Structure 1
Amino acid sequence: MILIVAMLAVRALRRSSAAVRHAVLTSALLSTVALPLLSQVLPRLEVPTPVVFSQPKVPTESPPVQLEPESNYQPTEIANDATDDAANQTTSPVAGITSASLEAPVSQAASAHTIRLAHVASAVWMVGMLSLLVVIVVGEVGALRLRRTSNALPEGEWSQSLAEISGQHRPMRRVVLLENSTIQVPMTCGTLRPAILIPAGFHATADERRRILLHEMAHVVRFDVALQTLGRLACALYWFHPLAWWCLRQMHREREQACDDWVVRSGERATEYADQLIALAKRNLTERPLPAAVGIVRRGNLEKRVHAMLNSDCSHAAMGRVRGTLLVALCLCVVASLAVLQPRPTIAAGPDDSAPQNTQEESADQADASKHDPTKTDSYTFPIRMTGLALDEAGNPIAGATVYVSSQRVLWAGKRIAETTTDESGRYTFEEIELPITRADTNHGRDHGGFLVFGTAQGYGFAWRPLKWFYPSPQPGRSSYVDPAGDEPSQFYVDDKIELDLTFPAAATIRGTIVDGNGEPIPKTKLAIWDAERIPLDAYGSRRPGSDRQPFRIMASDGFELLNADVPPEMWITHSDAEGRFEFTGAPSGRRFRVKVQPPGFPSRMVWFTTRAGLEESYGDRRLYDASQDIRLTFENSVKVPIQVVYADTGQPAPKAFVNANNKLASALDTTDEQGRVTLGVPPGEYRLHILPEYGTPYLETNTNFTLGDEPPAAPIVVELPAAAQVEVQVVDKDTGQGIENVDFWSRDSDDQRELHYTTAWEVATRIVHRDRLRTDDTGTLQALFEPGTHRIGVAWQSYPDDYQPGSYQGKEIECKPGEKLKVVFELERKRSN
């Protein structure tokens, strides 16, 4: 009961923080350990409990009971050694049969057989428990030996960082810092005396050291090593119970996510922390985790951790002392209540023996049948077959090329779902790819999944086909498949043949130097390719007759967002050396690339490179660097800019607001402190300042411009966050007045087309910008923020229950004032049957 409640609670708390879920799982496992102990010392209260028996049939001296002709039920003799009088056992009645007609004594052989089974079961349980206890002891001894063979880390950068973090978080126990040559990644060990172990010779920047020590300090403060040991003891006691092991595995996952949240809440950027975890995971590919220690990364859980860290829909807050106290009190009450209750089994109806049941086969068949059925689950996959050729630019096949398929996913965490190599004829084939499918969440949408095909080949630049969409349904009367020699296909249906060739261009090299304003090299600069596109583009818009508008370029069908495609890191990430030199090898020729350059201590910058000589020197409003020559990127020395953000209606400081200063050459961002202040370092120039309010506050984002000279401003730049009009929208049934759930909301300010209404804000705990698409909750209500002025709003445009009519196109007009609260009610009418 405890483990089932814990499992259901974790499911219900999936949008809560990992720290809360970890506390629930830990409490559940510890409660299972306390339960048998308390049941021996507390008074007992017997509670009748029905039992459904499924033991083998034993002979009975009673005549068979006559059933209906079409029924094959037979009475079943049951031995119940939990009753007081073992001599007066009765058979279990089945449906429609009285227990009195089946009453008969149980044979002594059956009773003896039951006792032998109980002894065997007890012996098996004891062997399993003792074996696991030995494993736990061996793990503790291994952790102790690891600590004894470690050396104290000399005073230096690591100890300084630890002292700074300890002063900030004030752990209850003294933490020692050790180094060990046998480990690959940092870890924490010591149930009673915590120690943070650093691999010998491990080098890290100041920011990387801080993030590592923050993560390990979180383990110390949260007593994760001790809780892990207690959880393993619970699993040793209940080794036969699958839910106990499920709880322990979930504890490990939620523990690491909770420590990740701790790091991000301490002010570290989630994206940079994710990059560091990926780099650490590469060091830990072959190392087996130590059971009595907790490391910053381990095999098998990195993808889920990164996705959870960047998921804006979930909370990343700490457990909190009040909630922790309430959870402990609740667990004590539940465990004490269960320990007092003593079940007194009573005979209940047995199972239907009319036909043999093959539950295992039926379950497997049902699972297989529902695997690709969108009506069975909230998310599902659909198998697709894909084939194609790897060719060079002359049309010759390339053998041994590596071809990847990546699914299109939310955030940046694209997922590679298939990988293969081409045969001697240059052909690749994926017989069955389980493509993740997104369920349609609007009335006029279709279930769909996006995928990218890309590849690498020795001696060539990487190749890709633009994003494709797959719909797991037939398209009557037409096919979206287009011959690759003709126009580029963009979408496929279930009956379409998917054949996508990859043309690998010649390899090009992008190289250059990163220097500061004094011409000094900047080492350890990270360069990451974010986007790539072909040149020239395949499609252009045409000029309309009589129009002076220039032709427009169609960009969407050609770009390759490497970051969103989950490509191998060596394809798109490099770093400058001690001389500030960097180099990308294996880049495709004749392409354009958007590269994020992140020098340590300087604002980052987006830069466009091209591997095709002779192009224009600008791309849009940005300079285009010719990669056929050495590129020199200069990052001017920064000037400190103090900024003060206040609420426009009250003049009070605006804490936890997002502040971003950017122009073509530099970008810097940070979050305001409790006094609404922040200082950004950017080079001299003209900047756009973008401010986002704290998530959950009734204020609107705003933009302003400022010019920065060679000297810091004498006074802070003051920016006011405008107060929003707060509009509560309720959607109800026209006949019953009941609220209607999952109805969307739109707005427009003029006669232009309506648009779905979004609210944008910043959450400092996760360092994520929220852009919430508003829909009604289970009461039919939503909260929207508006700028002051007149607006036209409406509901039920793309999402509403199927049995209702869509909302009116005209909607309603509202007048909004700063800080004013307004309520608007919309009625939806049900569709009338013919």
Structure 2
Amino acid sequence: MPKRTAKKRTRDAGSRAGGIHETEPVSISIQGTATDQDGRPLAGATLYVATANAFTAPDPILAQTTTDEAGKYVLKDVMLPVQTFPAKPDVVEGKFQVFGVSQGHGFTWHGVRASRPRPRPAADSEPEMDRAYYQGEAITNDLLFGPTVRVAGQVMDDLGNPIAGAKVQIGAFNDPRRPSSKMYRFQLLAPEDRPADPDRSFTSIYSMPESRLSAATDAAGRYEFLHVPRDASFAAAVSAMPELGYLSATVTTSGPATKGDDGETAVGWNPVLTAPRTVAVRTIDRASKEPLGGVVLHAYGGQIRFAGNEARSDAEGRAVLRLPPGHYRLVAEPASGSPYLRTEHEIDVGKEPTEQAHELGVHVGALLILEATTDDSQPVEGVGFSYETDTSRDRRELQSQTVFVDHPTTDRDGVLRAVVEPGRRRFFVSTVPEGYEAAEGEMPWTDIVTGSTSTVRFELRRKQPPATDADVPSASTDVELRLRGLWRRQNEFKFKGTVTYRTTYRPTYDYIISRDEIREAVTGFDSSGSTDIASWINQHLPELDVRFAGPYQMVVDGRRLRRSTIRSNTTGGLETLIEAFNGVEIVQYDSTNAQVSVYDYRLSRVHIDGIDDLRRWPLVGQQFGGRRQGYNVVASVGGKTVLEVQSDAMTSRSVVDDATGFVYELSFQQKGGNGQDEFQFAPVELPGGMIWP
């Protein structure tokens, strides 16, 4: 197949939020002069240029330099990322901001500007033309280091105690929910008689050296920042020990200043953090009033807490929390294996006294025993259960206790024990081990009483063994029946073990490639050669720029699945992605986000890659007779058969191997024009008979 020449196509979708595209960077040069408030040149000032594009890279600094004796600087051959926007398809630009720091003069910045690598169009034909430089135009950004003040203050708690070692940040500070992210705002105040000016905003404040924007309090709780721009408004935050949390505010330097020994001092910011109170909690058996040890306590209030809101009771039932004044929902989680239930209690922590006490009675549960046997009284291991109540017919998965979700199943004796809440329930088999099926019929209601033991018995049937080669119709019989027999056999296999694989992705969507062009390239791939599929596609469709991501590792035990990968980010660091699936929930962890997400697989749109996503076999019913299922044999060439199924809504097409039923191609085309193609290559039969692409 001849190699195609890449042609740029109309952009139709973005690689970033909002459809924004980032293309190849352009080289720009920036020059200018740095002066003080009296117009004198500043030598030795350190100047930076940062990208100001939307959704920039984690490290936005593009280049830096220092001014000469005349205060002049030149930043040559700066590689500026360029973006395009669906709302402004004719505007291709890269935004940047120049800023600088100077000893004794603080910091300053120039307004954000754009470079548009094309000739300047007619006046007012594009937005913000007065803030853009076009092809061949010199870029000059002068910097004025204006008047500064000294910002200082004292950090105290609400009990009047100074807080030593507190971290005070101005302009940009760490997001307490995502420590790797920044929250930022710094701008000069506009005169009342003038409109707002975007050049007054220091967009790249988060790129400043942290030493300029962060200070620690001394033993008296005092801090200071030297040479902060005067008449400015900025975000500020203070954080101390985890139990004290953090506090943020907006600070201005436009108020009256007082003279100090080392210069002017602006009106300082004196934050007051709320000190935690000592809350002694005693956990007891709600019925007998005896102390309970090993109970984990969680206090949930109106703010995020980083410490002090969790504790475990000792053998005497004692636990200590450290909480600021407020209303809390106190949750008690009994030790695993104990006959107690998860219990909630509302408490109020007052401002006084600083030491307070509460008692929490933990509810007693009921023991439930579920037994699973065959019709000849043999125990069945691996059976899971669900239930419904007399107030709700929504079925819920049964857990072994009320503290955490574990989706238990019967042990080798066919028994499952659980501590549950009292009430009226009806139980159902929800998880059936391989080779068994639940007996038909509706289970009776069970009345569960506090402190008692209830037993429910289930009977399961053994299934017929899976199809063998002898069950597959011979080649001389109906083609569809024979293929369906092969597919059914492959679907019966249950994989257990570890698989390592790679996936590919497209970094941008700057080109439209027709479906026929992709099909032509993929169907010509020679899987027996040394070229991988991504390299093959890039040879014949270079505008796709397909790249590998991964490798991924998938671990399966038959029901549960764990999928993980380690990948490099744009700054050369490593990122970890882990997904775990237990048949009901998906737990997803991404190191780029501080949160762990849990999804109900039945209700969520989140997709988790499973073993069946790596090997496609058409699903068939457990039984099939001599009746045709709608497949039409349209061709049979070179040991492959082409099947089609047509309906009023779509046409499906499969290319399968005559001998094994392996599906080389699976596609569909809807009448409305949408469709999908899947391809598999190089089938390999494992010793047990399972076939892998």
- Give the structure with the larger helix fraction: 1
Shorter-chain TM-score bucket reads 0.3 to 0.5
TM-score computed with the length of structure 1 as normaliser:
0.30
With structure 2 as the length reference, what TM-score do the two structures score?
Answer: 0.36
